[in-house]
Chains A and B, each alone.
Chain A
Amino acid sequence: MTRVLVIDDEAPIRLLCRVNLEAEGMTVLEASDGPSGLAKAQEELPDIVLLDVMMPGLDGWGVAEHMLEGEETQRIPIIFLTARAEFRDRARGLDIGGVDYITKPFNPVELAPLVRGLLERLQRGERDELRHEKLSELRSLMVDR
């Protein structure tokens, strides 16, 4: 069973993620701030992390950087989940090792298929391809600007 860790300081957002992912048969872990989220990631070693960027205290970037430093946590794929829709934030997310980037507001119904699809590709060993895809997506955005 797929275990998803949701780290977000907004209770309604966590709830949204949980009901929709559980509806698809996934197990959802929750954390309401950066430090507890990081601790949970290290303890539970979930299959994937949905990580909010703007949180008081340790923000999403910090959590991701800490996870990259941990031997066990660095392989956990991260999907950034944030209201910060700017180009540079997306680029930063990918730089830090995120595999995808979801901008709020998002349709929670699409969360589970997205998570599932990503995990399947990663299992097929397409992590690098995935990154290249996202980077070229960004590049095309950049050209549009």
Chain B
Amino acid sequence: MSPVDAETKAVLFNAVPLLLLAAAHLTAGAARAPGLLATVRRRPTDLRESAAATALLFPSVGVAAAILGVATLVDREPLAGRLWLSLAAIVVAGIPAVLLLAGRVEPPSAGASLETVRPETATESRKRARLERGTYGIAAVLSEPLSADATFDAVAKAATDSLEGDCAAVLRATGGTLELAGSYELPDVLRDVLSADAVAGLAAAARAGKLLASRDLAGDNRFGPGLPEAAAGAGCSSLLVVPLTQPRSDANGLVLVFFAGRQSFADEQLELAGRIAGAARGALERSDLYEFERRARAVAQRLASSGRELAGELDPENVLERLARLASSLLAGAGASVWVLEGDELVVHAAFGRGASVALELRTPSTAWLLGDIVQSRSARTIANAEGDARAAEADPMIAAGHLSSVGVPMIGPDGGVRGVVCVYDFKPREWRDDEAEALLALGSVAAAARDNAEQYQSVWHEQQRSEAILENVADGIVALDRDGRVVLWNPAAEHITGVPGSDALGRTPPQVLGRSLESEEGARPGVSRLLSIRRGADEVWLSLSEALMTDPAGAVAGRIYAFRDISSERAVEQMKSDFVSTVSHELRTPLTSIYGFAETLLRQDVLFGEAERNTFLRYIASESERLTSIVDRLLSVAQLDTGAMSVQVAETDVNRVVTEVVAALEASLGTNGRELVVALPDERLSAAADGDKLGQVLQHLLDNAVRYSPAGGTVRVGARRADDLVEVRVEDEGVGIPRAEQERIFRKFYRGETSARTVGAGATGLGLFLAEGLVQAMGGRIWVDSDEGRGATFFVELPAAGD
């Protein structure tokens, strides 16, 4: 080999390292190119990121080094020229990098520059790139969700992605325990383990707030057996446990990221884990706000609908029943109880959920711990976890029944007084939020007001029921008119008396309804009733009516109330009595006229009467005196029957003889007035257990009637017979008969047949049959009539037989 001159050696010495450096950088740049291109395709703007810029430096520096190397080889310039070239190479390699870092230019696809870069920078950049990419991924994933559940799931996904794990779970601290709140790609075995009981070590990790890394979970005894076994079952070997700060809570949650392969956790992964915690906290705070808003809106809606529902309830106890259900559903609880303050005790009036039947009607002093405190302090009391809390179980039967958490608030009435306590329970430990307690308090107040209203309504209702019951059942017709004179009340008695149903009367005026006004012409006088008559169909109805004026505060007539009784029957009785008096008067006056008249006639000095005439006059005086006596006797008998002073002397009586005597007396007194009397008596002796005189009176009444009601020339038949152990006497006439409807009434006192007034006019006192029945019954017998209208009547008297 030819000897190399010193200058050539120097050039080679300078150029070769530069070319080697250029080759290294270009190779590195080429290796980075696909990643770089991918990044560029995905998010062009992200090229400002330092990681991408770092990647671009490799080819730039390589090109710069190559230029310097080649220049040194080819161009043997003096030292000054080489320095210029070096400067140019540095500019070529440096400016794009600087500009790129400053975000001014798009990256060149390849550039030529010259610079010397330390080999260590690549590793750090790689790490930083991983870190940055992970951070970016976290931010991207966590920017999306709003609700708490979605946020927890997003945290799990962000952790999985950024830490390049395989699945993740997020545990939330609540009520002193950790609860599975979100997950990503979490296999069921792990879900089951994390959902069920507390996993050893996790609670401590959460309390400590420190990162836990387990490279080999199977060999890690910090978590007890359950979790590692489940993880192994799911094909996971490594676990990273990241503490999670929860908004508005002192307790930490946890993010658990599982890795399939054994993972040597790099520093940047651990740092990323820290960043996840920070980012998750932000996302959770945001979702917490969102959830709060959402809950507040939902609670407000439920409160409003609950208020409507409660306000519509008219039974006070139902209000509390409903309150229990509504309270539980308002807070999505598992049960509720409603305690009402009664004196110095709280009494469960309504309960819902497990233990409700036991709790109902339980009493506790209003000063007792927990429930009493709520009353005394007029503020909410919550229990987040009553696990093993004997005092809470003793204080509240619903907690004793298995509920683990409760929130209780006072029920405050519209007047500000505490009416009781409303509690809502949950089976699981639960941190009750302030807004939940406030919502419950509001519901309690609504319920207290609704119950007050319902109680008022009920008392008004009862009052009304009472008034209505009185109005329904009072015998007097009650009618109320408004100021326009229209009927606003028409009670059943008014319906009955007037014959007009309330539905026809309401809204109309009395003249429209009854054909006449009820108003007094002289104006209403309180306590004074007056008589007036109205028509009820074809009947005239007499009313005794009193009137009351209702006035409004200004003194104007606001309405009228009328109370009336139907006194038609009283008037009928009065009429009967009056008729009786005039009849009796007539009955007495007629014989009296004869007696007085014949006496005066006999006393005449101016006329001389013959012997026969005088005898006739005297016979009339005698017979009419007898008639007078019998009338007086009859009146006395009625009086005796009335007072119960009638006495009968029952003895064996010859019925044939009594009949014969009465007939003879009737014929002797010329009383038959041309009617034929046919007597049919058996030949054998007929003995009855009777009072002969009274039986005679009865038969006399019956014969008088028969003669009276028979047409002239008619026949009256009198008969008697024995029927088993009874004796029957019958009096049969051919008169007008007695309508069926009247047959029962004819035995009543003062009653005179409808037809008797027409056909007989005078004479009938309306006492004969009343007396006959009274006498027969006094003798232990029976009297009845058999008649068809227009075909005569047959009266029967039945007496017990005697003798034999």
Contacts from A to B (Cβ < 8 Å): 9-13, 15-16, 19-20, 23, 54-57, 59, 82-86, 104-109
A54-B761, A83-B585 known; A10+B596 contact, CB < 8 A = no
Q: How far is B586's CA from A13's CA once the two chains are assembled, in angstroms?
A: 13
Residue among A12, A13, A84 with most chain B CB within 10 A: A12
Chain A contacts for B582, CB-based, 8 A: 84, 86
Determine whether the beta carbon of B593 is less than 8 Å from that of A23: no
Q: What's the A-B contact tally at a CB cutoff of 8 Å?
A: 78
Question: For the complex, is B379 an interface residue (Cβ under 8 Å from A)?
Answer: no
The 3 closest A-B pairs by CB, nearest first: A54-B762, A83-B589, A105-B593
Kindly provide the distance from the CB of A79 to the nearest chain B CB, expressed in whole angstroms: 15
B interface residues with partner A (beta carbon < 8 Å): 582, 585-586, 589-590, 592-598, 600-601, 604, 606-607, 609, 613, 616, 620, 624, 670, 708, 759-763
Q: Are B585 and A56 in contact (CB under 8 A)?
A: no
- B606–A23 CB distance below 8 A: yes
Partner of B592, one of A23, A59, A104: A104
* A87 to B589 alpha-carbon distance, docked (Å): 16
Select the residue from B582, B592, B606 with max chain A CB neighbours within 10 A: B582
- Report how far A54 CA is from B762 CA in the complex, Å: 5
Chain A residue nearest in CB terms to B608: A23
Residue pair A104, B598 in contact (C-beta under 8 Å)? no
Which residues of B are found within 8 Å of A11, using beta-carbon distances?
670
Q: Which of A15, A59, A106 has the most CB of B within 10 A?
A: A15
Residues from chain B with a CB closer than 8 A to the CB of A10 are 590, 594
Q: Which residues of chain B come closer than 8 Å to A57, judged between CB atoms?
A: 759, 761
User: What is the CA–CA distance of A55 and B757 in the complex, to the nearest angstrom?
Assistant: 10
- What is the CA–CA distance of A106 and B598 in the complex, to the nearest angstrom? 11
Give A13 to B598 CA distance when docked, in angstroms: 9
Residues of A within 8 A of B708 (CB): 56
Q: Are B597 and A105 in contact (CB under 8 A)?
A: yes
What's the minimum C-beta distance from A52 to chain B, rounded to whole angstroms?
Answer: 9
Q: Is the CB of A19 within 8 A of B609?
A: yes
User: B594: shortest Cβ distance to chain A, in Å?
Assistant: 4
Tell whether, in the assembled complex, residue B590 and residue A55 are in contact, meaning their CB atoms are under 8 Å apart: no
**A83 and B604: CB pair below 8 A?**
no
Q: Kindly report which residue of chain B lies nearest to residue A107, judged by CB atoms.
A: B600
CB < 8 Å neighbour of A107 from B597, B609, B762: B597
Q: Which residues of B contact A82 (CB under 8 A)?
A: 586
- B761 contacts which chain A residues (CB < 8 A)? 54-57, 59
A-B contact pairs, 13 of them (CB 8 A): A16-B594, A16-B598, A20-B601, A23-B604, A23-B606, A54-B762, A55-B761, A56-B708, A56-B760, A105-B595, A105-B597, A108-B600, A109-B601
Asked if A104 meets B762 with Cβ closer than 8 Å, knowing A23-B604, A85-B585, the reply is: no
Given A84-B585, A109-B604, 20 more pairs with CB closer than 8 A: A10-B590, A12-B594, A12-B598, A13-B590, A16-B593, A54-B763, A55-B762, A56-B708, A56-B759, A56-B762, A57-B759, A83-B593, A83-B762, A85-B585, A104-B590, A104-B592, A105-B595, A108-B600, A108-B601, A109-B600
Given contacts A19-B613, A85-B585, contact A105 B596 (CB under 8 A): yes
Contacts of A104 in B (CB 8 A): 589-590, 592-593
> Once the chains are docked, how many angstroms separate the CA of A55 from the CA of B606?
32
- In the complex, which residue of chain A has the Cβ closest to the Cβ of B759? A56
Instruction: For A55, list chain B residues within 8 Å (CB).
Output: 761-762
Residues from chain B with Cβ under 8 Å of A59 in the complex: 761
Contact of A105 among B592, B601, B609, B616 (CB under 8 A): B592
Chain B residues closer than 8 Å to A109, beta-carbon distance: 600-601, 604
Question: What separation, in Å, do the CA atoms of A16 and B597 have in the docked complex?
Answer: 7
**B54 shortest CB reach to chain A, Å:** 138
Q: How far is the CA of A93 from the CA of B600 in the complex (A)?
A: 27
By a CB distance below 8 angstroms, the chain A residues around B670 are 11
Most chain B CB atoms below 10 A, which of A13, A20, A84, A108: A108
